Chain A
Amino acid sequence: MLFNSYIFIFLFMPLVIVGFFALNHFGKYKAAEVYLIGMSLWFYGYYNPRYLIIICTSIISNYLLSRLLNMFPDERTGLRKFVLTVGLAGNIAAIFYYKYYDFFIKNINSVFDTSFNLRHIVLPLGISFFTFQQISYLVDSYRGETRDYGFIEYALFVVFFPQLIAGPIVLHSEVIPQFRDREKRRLNMENIAHGIYIFSVGLFKKVIIADTFGRAVTWGYGNSDTLSSMEAVIVSLCYTFQLYFDFSGYCDMANGLGRMLNIELPWNFNSPYKATSIIDFWSRWHLTLTRFLRQYIYFPLGGSYKGRFRTYLNIMIVFLVSGFWHGADWTFVAWGLLHGMFNCLERAFKKTRAKMNMIFQWIVTFSLVNLLWILFRADSFSQAAGMIKKMMLMDDFTVRGDLTGCFNLSELNFLDSHVGIFDILSSHIWGFNMWVFLAAALIIVLNFKNLSEIEFRPTAGRAAVAVFMMFWSITSLTGVSVFLYFGF
């Protein structure tokens, strides 16, 4: 199930909130946890119930392994290490099989000229997230930090629906204590109101902003051969915005949902496009992933305490893993490694950089991030190279109606033709709606406060914003598709 769906908004969300607090109200605390687990599994298995087997197997085996780790006394380091290794290997094997099997076989086939069959395995929803979450749990169990968790608590920590399929990647230490807190089991209308507000902003970011940019991106990458330089630039910017609004919108919704249930989830974004360096960018983008990589890979490798060379090597390893985690393709690996490389370069030239003008630094950072997202989105290196080449050549400034048309939402067209000022602007400025979207997105990412920073009060203004955003988003969940007619 997706947050941005009718069934979630009109059925799942009310059911989960009412059911959870009703059970708690009558003192059925365990039942409330089980109810949340059950609802989360429904949420997870909605599109493909078969994947419930995968997630349940994963949860049960990881829990048993962590119990085993806790059973052995600390002195038995060898045995504990062995169990941890088995656990890590098992999790990595699972993610490898579901996410990287075909990628691996394709590479074997092309290097050794073999013809092993691909399996075309459909990636179970959120496997990258729940696997990382459980790896962190196993490692913490090995470190002796998880001693007294019960199975239900553990299962709820993994399947808790707000963060299940797209993060944030939460740590047991930040949610399980919240699940245990009886104070948090009482309906808190302030949190409900605040949660609704956050959810509506997230929904709007996803449905109205990201999905509109997404249409332009789909068109642009589908026609990458024929793009003009200007179109390539616009499409690349659209993707940069789409990705941010999509992912952060989704995380906002997760956060809002958590809040409605009195659970505070960590924030995943901190205005990443305000960053003035790549290092800065990574301290603002997908924070819970960065935290995971730092705590469970970078630090164990020695972090920055083993000399300069090892520091750079560790950074590159972390970004290599990050690249792979994002997708099973060499383009993702290259994207990760390039980010790693820029990170190292920034460290190496820290002093020179410090002397540079901030606006200049922002421009360089934003451009780099934007260029690297091309690699992230492109289907192949050649497509990415083609796009970048076009952007660099700057020889053709044509912007076709196919691209501008992606932004012509029915309601905006209506506004353009019925409101004087919009009528004038849209008839004089080619692609008016597109420029409005791009400008608005830029203004939002550079000037708006993070949702986490906004002190929420249930005012009429906030109510109007919430209703407006929810209304526009819900009524835009389904569009009317255009059937292009090619031949027959």
Chain B
Amino acid sequence: MNNLEDKRDIRKKNKKAARWTAAVVAVLLAALAVIAAANAVIDPFFHYHGPYRDLQYPIDNERYQNDGITRNFNYNAIITGSSMSENFRTSQFDKLFGTKSIKVPFSGGRYKEINDNISRSYESGHDPVIVLRSLDYSLLVLDKDDVYPGAEYPTYLTDNNPFNDIKYLLNLSVFFDDSLRVLSYTREGMKTTTFDEYQNWMADSTFGAETVFSTYTLGKPAEREKEFSDSDRELVYGNLEQNVISQAKAHPETEFYLFFPPYSIAYWDELNNEKKINWRIDAEKYAIDLLLKCDNIKLFSFCTRYDITCNLDNYKDQAHYKSWINDQMLKWMSNGEYQITKENEDEYISEIRSFYNSYDYSSLHGDN
């Protein structure tokens, strides 16, 4: 009898535990489903769809949103690159080039990251007529697979594996910081960030010589001139071939407007101190030779606008320039000005070589 009661008791307890387990699992799954549904439907990173008309989206997170923008927005031109492209205005670009563009720059983005993002455009069925892209000198002689070491990349957004989307869907940070923000943004009557505004840092920055000089200190001057070695050449080749040229070759229907951004004289000052000016120009010369082999690449450089590069009022550090220079560069590029061609390449190289080698850098530090 006791035995029977024991058994009954065990069965009862087991039943209760089973109900408890079922309830826990069910409520947990339901709660998780709510979060996942909210993140998927609002989709603050545009992973599944572009912005809904009834919702207003803050766009301010390049590494998390650019991939979605590239895949799910409607456009036929792309402005991309590093922070050198962040201050471009798509409205001006579209007027000049007759396009409907998106802007998807990556702060500190290496050539590979930018190229991979352009590939996502083609993969998602877009066929951009123009890609405008900055090519940073400072990132030219670099391993082709180098990545910006800032933080952990959300590769679950940029790969094609649907299973790891779970990291996006079941993500409380995304829910609170992004999905709910879309709702409050909409409620407060704000408007989806335009590409003119997106990542434009002009208003938040201080410019001028004093600021520029506070961002770098010259080390001990180098004793010997740095030479552009065979291994440097290999790096440039690998970097450009994999991350610029192959894309251009694969898409002859797209015109690639590439430009070397006009870094300031303070940048050259440091190169001068490190005896790297000619090394840098040799790298650029080699890059130009490679790039000009592609008919659909239009290459520009604005380093010869000494009125810009030598006036530190235009800069907030060695490289970052005011947004009027972005506006100006767009105009020049649309007019074909400062384009480097096979015909003027040698003249351009010898001009910058002569100017930046003979510049009186000590005059920069005269007052400091």
- Interface positions of A (Cβ within 8 A of B): 6, 10, 188-190, 192-194, 196, 409-411, 413-414, 458-459, 462-463, 466-467, 470-472, 474-488
How many residues in B have their beta carbons less than 8 Å from beta carbons of A?
A: 49
List the 5 shortest-distance A-B pairs measured between CB atoms, nearest first.
A458-B20, A481-B151, A410-B176, A475-B172, A189-B17
Residues from chain B with Cβ under 8 Å of A480 in the complex? 61, 64, 154, 171, 173-174, 177-178
Q: Which residue of A lies closest to B106 (CB)?
A: A483
A414 CA / B27 CA spacing, docked (Å):
23
Contact (Cβ within 8 A) B24 A463: yes
B183 at the interface (CB under 8 A from A): no
Pair A410/B82 contact, Cβ less than 8 Å: no
- How close is B253's CB to chain A, nearest CB, in angstroms? 31
Q: Is the CB of A467 within 8 A of B174?
A: no
Instruction: Determine the distance from Cα of A10 to Cα of B83 in the docked complex, in whole angstroms.
Output: 40
Known contacts A463-B23, A480-B174; decide if A487 and B167 are in contact (CB<8 Å).
no
Per DSSP, chain B at the interface is helix
- Any A CB within 8 A of the CB of B13: yes
Known contacts A411-B176, A467-B28; A485 and B150 CB within 8 A of each other: yes
Which residues on A sit within 8 Å (CB–CB) of B153? Answer: 481
The answer to whether A485 and B107 touch across the interface, beta carbons within 8 angstroms, is yes
| Alpha-carbon gap, A459 to B35, bound state (A) | 26
Partner-A contacts on B (CB < 8 A): 13-21, 23-24, 27-28, 31-32, 35, 61-64, 82-83, 107-108, 136, 138-139, 148, 150-154, 156, 166-168, 170-178, 180, 317, 319
Report whether A189 and B170 are in contact in the complex, using a CB–CB cutoff of 8 Å.
no
> Do A188 and B64 touch (CB < 8 A)?
no
- Given known A480-B64, A480-B177, contact A6–B167 (CB-CB < 8 A): yes
A413 touches B151 (CB 8 A): no
Given A190-B13, A410-B175, A475-B175; 14 other pairs, CB 8 A cutoff: A189-B14, A189-B18, A192-B18, A193-B20, A410-B173, A466-B28, A470-B24, A478-B173, A480-B64, A481-B152, A483-B108, A486-B108, A487-B108, A488-B82
How far apart are the CA atoms of A480 and B39 in the complex, in Å? 13
CB proximity of B159 to chain A, nearest CB, Å:
14
Among B14, B138, B170, which residue has its beta carbon within 8 angstroms of that of A474? B170
Q: In the complex, which residues of chain A have a beta carbon less than 8 angstroms from the beta carbon of B177?
A: 410, 413, 480
**Contact among B24, B108, B176, B180 with A196 in the assembled complex (CB-CB below 8 Å):** B24
Question: Quick check: A483 and B62 within 8 Å, CB to CB?
Answer: yes
The answer to whether B83 touches A488, judged by C-beta atoms less than 8 angstroms apart, is: yes
> B20: which A residues are within 8 A, CB to CB?
193, 458-459, 462-463
Note all chain A residues with C-beta closer than 8 A to B170. Answer: 6, 474-475, 477-478
Residue of A with least CB distance to B36: A475
Instruction: Given A472-B172, A487-B317, check contact A192 B108 (CB 8 Å).
Output: no
| Alpha-carbon distance A122/B173, docked complex (angstroms) | 32
Question: Given the complex, which residues of A lie within 8 Å of B108, measured CB to CB?
Answer: 483, 485-488
In contact, B176 and A471 (Cβ under 8 angstroms): no
The reply to whether A414 and B171 form a contact with Cβ atoms under 8 Å apart is no
Question: Of all chain B residues, which has the CB nearest A469?
Answer: B28
CB of B117, distance to nearest CB on chain A (Å): 14
Please tell me if the beta carbons of B63 and A483 are within 8 angstroms of each other in the complex. Answer: yes
CB distance from B240 to the nearest CB of A (A): 17
Please, which residue of chain B has its CB at the minimum distance from the CB of A458? B20
Pick from B23, B151, B173: contact of A483, CB under 8 Å: B151
The minimal Cβ–Cβ distance linking A213 to chain B, given in whole angstroms, is 17
Contacts of B151 in A (CB 8 A): 481-484
Q: Which residues of chain A are near B18, meaning CB under 8 Å? A: 189, 192-193
Q: Check if B32 sits within 8 Å of A190, measured CB to CB.
A: no
- In the complex, which of the residues A188, A478, A484, A487 has the most CB atoms of chain B within 10 Å of its own CB atom? A478
Q: Is the CB of B31 within 8 A of A471?
A: yes
B63/A458 in contact, CB under 8 A: no
CB-nearest residue of chain B to A462: B20
* Complex Cα gap A442–B167 (Å): 31
For the complex formed, measure the closest distance between the CB of A223 and the CB atoms of chain B, giving whole angstroms: 16
Nearest Cβ in chain A — how far from B312, in angstroms? 17
Asked whether A467 lies within 8 Å of B24 as measured between CB atoms, the reply is: yes
Q: Are B32 and A474 in contact (CB under 8 A)?
A: yes
Residues of B within 8 A of A188 (CB): 14
Q: How far is the CA of A463 from the CA of B17 in the complex (A)?
A: 10
Q: How far is the CA of A342 from the CA of B282 in the complex (A)?
A: 64
